[in-house]
Every structure is written in C-alpha cells, then in structure tokens.
C-alpha cells in the first residue's frame, strides 16, 4: 500500500503541484491580511498588483538537504585544496555561480548556461564525451548528475548504460593526482524512470574502480548530514545522497 501511495503521489505531482493545491486552505488568511493591511496602509492596494504567496508561513526555513549539503561540502573541499581552476559537469548553477567567486570555474552542461559573470566560463558538452584531454583536469565535480544520464529527462539520448559511460568519461579526464567530487542518490538500487537512478554505494565504487576513494560523506533519508562516514552506512537507505571524493590513480 505504501508503494502504491508513493506511485500515485509521483504521478499526480507530474501534473499537479501538491504544495500549491494545498495552499488554497490559506486563501481566507490572505483575504483577511489584505483587509487588515489596507486599513493600516497609506497607499491603496490594487487587485491587478496582487501576488498571493500562500504557502510560505512556516516555522523554519525549508531547504533541500541534498542540494544544501552537497554545495557546502564542495565549497569546503575546494577551500582546502585551492585549485587554480575547477571544472564542473552539470551541477547546480547556483552552486557554480558562488564557487566562481573563489576559484575560476568552467561549467559544462548538455543544456548550456546562457549567463555571464566573471571567472565562470560556460560551455556546451556531453558528460559521455567531454571536451577535455585525457588526464587533464586537476579539480572536477559532478553533483546529482550521473543518475540522470541515459534516461532522456533532459533531452539526452536514451541509454541504459549512460551512467557507466559517464563514469568512464569522468575517470578519463581526471588527472592522475586530480580530485573528483561526485554526489549521487544512494541506497537500494533501482531506476525511477525517467527521473533518476538510485545506486548501491558499492556500485559507485565499482564504476570508479580506476580511482581511489579519499573520503565519503552522506545525507540520510531524514536529511541529516554525516561527514567522513563509510559507503556501506548508506546501503539500506531509500533515497540518500552519497558524497564521494575520489583521487586519480597515479599508477594508471
């Protein structure tokens, strides 16, 4: 029953935004506040300028634990390593925009970013065929990207082996002493078509067997962050976030 409920919720959310629909219960409060504010204000409120925000009255600031912690994790890693340049493949544009204030950043995405700021170079590229020479990148990241490759969600070709091809390409371009910062959903392995895959932690280690795991952190199903953990800690999770720091293998 729990699984059927989850399936129904996911299908409905593809067509109906649940938060916005539920926010209708707060419409009477909006109308009440309009009247109170209008009585107290010097200026007149006009319906044509109204912009109802009904679902933001919350006891604490909401956030996506995966996005929040992975961005903070990467920024802190780069603050330690201080690379001359960092290359990111398809991660959050908000994260790379902030990173570029501290380290010159090249951002590669299948859907190129149409924005320009200093020290952020945006180029079009495919993670299964990156525009970089073999063993050329000292500092590389790809966060919450690998799980989407080959599912067609973002216009990329359908390919059941897409994630493995992407992993091989990230391994190829990483310098022999370079660092790769990778985050993916981890836990009970499955394909949630066409949103994403969830990987068993051991599967990620196998996909990047040509690299050395330097550190592992993770965000559990409840949104708690664990620094310097073990990959097997996340093996039974439903939809956790694994944060893998790999180092290139100098013996390759």
| pLDDT exceeds 90 at position 74 | yes
pLDDT tens column, 91-127: 999 999 999 999 999 999 999 999 999 999 999 999 9
User: Which helix H or strand E contains 37, and what residues bound it?
Assistant: helix 27-40
pLDDT tens column, 17-27: 777 777 889 99
Q: Which residues contact 184 (CB under 8 A, 6 or more apart)?
A: 144, 146, 147, 197, 199, 204, 241, 242, 244
- Domains of the chain, start order: 2-49 (no CATH), 65-247 (3.40.50.150)
Q: What's the chain's average pLDDT?
A: 95
Do the beta carbons of residue 149 and residue 165 sit within 8 Å? yes
pTM of the model: 0.92
Q: How far apart are the C-alpha atoms of 247 and 201, rounded to whole Å?
A: 17
| pLDDT exceeds 60 at position 247 | yes
The band of 11, judged by pLDDT with boundaries at 50, 70 and 90, is: confident
């Amino acid at each position: 029953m729990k699984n059927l409920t989850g399936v129904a919720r996911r299908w409905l959310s593809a067509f109906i935004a649940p938060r916005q629909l539920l926010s209708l219960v707060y419409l009477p409060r909006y109308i009440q506040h309009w009247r109170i504010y209008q009585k107290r204000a010097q200026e007149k409120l006009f319906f044509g300028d109204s912009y109802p925000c009904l679902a933001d009255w919350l006891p604490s600031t909401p956030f996506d634990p995966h996005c929040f912690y992975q961005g903070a994790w990467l920024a802190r890693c780069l603050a330690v390593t201080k690379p001359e340049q960092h290359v990111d493949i398809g991660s959050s544009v908000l994260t790379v925009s902030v990173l570029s204030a501290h380290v010159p950043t090249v951002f590669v995405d299948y859907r190129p970013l149409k924005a320009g700021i200093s020290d952020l170079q945006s180029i079009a590229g495919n993670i299964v065929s990156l525009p970089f020479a073999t063993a050329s990148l000292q500092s590389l990241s790809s966060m919450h990207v690998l799980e989407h490759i080959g599912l067609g969600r973002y216009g990329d070709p359908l390919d059941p082996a897409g994630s493995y091809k992407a992993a091989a390409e990230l391994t190829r371009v990483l310098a022999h002493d370079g660092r790769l910062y990778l985050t993916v959903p981890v836990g009970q392995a499955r394909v949630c078509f066409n949103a994403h895959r969830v990987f068993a932690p051991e599967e990620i280690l196998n996909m990047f067997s040509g690299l050395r795991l330097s550190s592992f952190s993770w965000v559990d199903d409840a949104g708690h962050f664990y620094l310097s953990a073990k990959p097997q800690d996340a093996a039974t999770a439903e939809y956790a976030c694994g944060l893998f720091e790999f180092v290139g293998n100098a013996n390759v």
